[in-house]
Structure 1
Amino acid sequence: MDYEPAPSQVLPGWNFHVVEYPGYVKNPEKVLATLGGAEAIEKAFADDLNVLELRYRPDDPFSHPINGEIIHTANILLRVTTRRRRQKSMGPSGDKRQDTVRRDNQEPKVTTTFLGTVTKTCRFRAIADYQWLIDPNDPMGQLRRSMHNFDADGIEKFTLQLDKGPRKNLRNMPPPSFSRIEWPLDYGYRQNMAVVKVLIRRNDDAPPEMKLINRYRRQKFSAIQFSHNDKVVPSGPPLGASTANVPPEALTAMRQLFEKRSMWTRAALLNSMPKAYHSFMKVLLPLHAYVVTSGPWRECWIRYGYDFRVDPEARFGQIIDVRFVRNPRSFARAKRLIGVVEPTQLVSGRPSVTPGWTDRESTADPHMTPTTSNESHIFDGVTPTDLGTFQMCDVTDPDVLKMIHTKRHLRHKCHERDGWYARRHYDLIRDVTKKKIQLIQGKDVNINFHWDEDEGCSDHGSEEDAVGSADEEVQPLPASSLPVEIEATVKSKVDALMKSLQTAQKGALDDEEDVVAREGEEAGEFDYFDVFGDEDDEDD
Structure 2
Amino acid sequence: MSQTPHARDRTAPWYSIPAREIVTVEHPCVVKNIDKGIETLSGNGGIPRLLNPPRQDSSINLFLSPEDGMSRPLSSICNPANNILLKITVPKRTGRKRKRGSDEPFTNDLNDVEEASEPASPTTSRSSATVPSRALNARALLRRLQDNVGKYEVEAIGCVERMHNFRGMPDFVYSTISSPFMTKFRENVLPFRYDKLKEFQFDMTKGSTSNVDIIPPPALSRGDAPFNYLYRQNPTVKQSIGPSGEITTTNTQQIVKVLTHLVACDVPSVPTAPRENCPPIHTLDKPLQETIAILQSLFETRPAWTRRGLRNHLTTNEQKYALRLAVPYVGYIFRSGPWRDAIVKFGHDPRLHPSSCVYQTFMFRTLPSSITEQLENDHAGTPAPRNTSTTTSVSTRRKTLPRASATSTGGDQSAATRPSHIFTGQAPLPRDGKMWMICDITDPILARLLKPPAPPPSPSPSSEAPSPSPSPILAACDILSSGWYGNVTLAVAKTIMRAKIQHMLEHGTTPAAAMEEDFLPLLEFPARVGGDEEVGRKCAIGPGAAGGGERRVSSRCMALAAEVRAMVRGAPGRKVFLERGRGGGDGGDGDDGRGGEDGGRGKRVKWEDEVGGVGRENEDEGEGEEEMGESGEEEGEEEEEEGEGEGDDVEMSGL
Q: What TM-score range do you get, normalising by the shorter chain?
A: 0.3 to 0.5
Hey, which of these two has a bigger chunk of strand by percent? Answer: 1
Hey, which of these two has a bigger chunk of helix by percent? Answer: 2
Larger Rg: 2
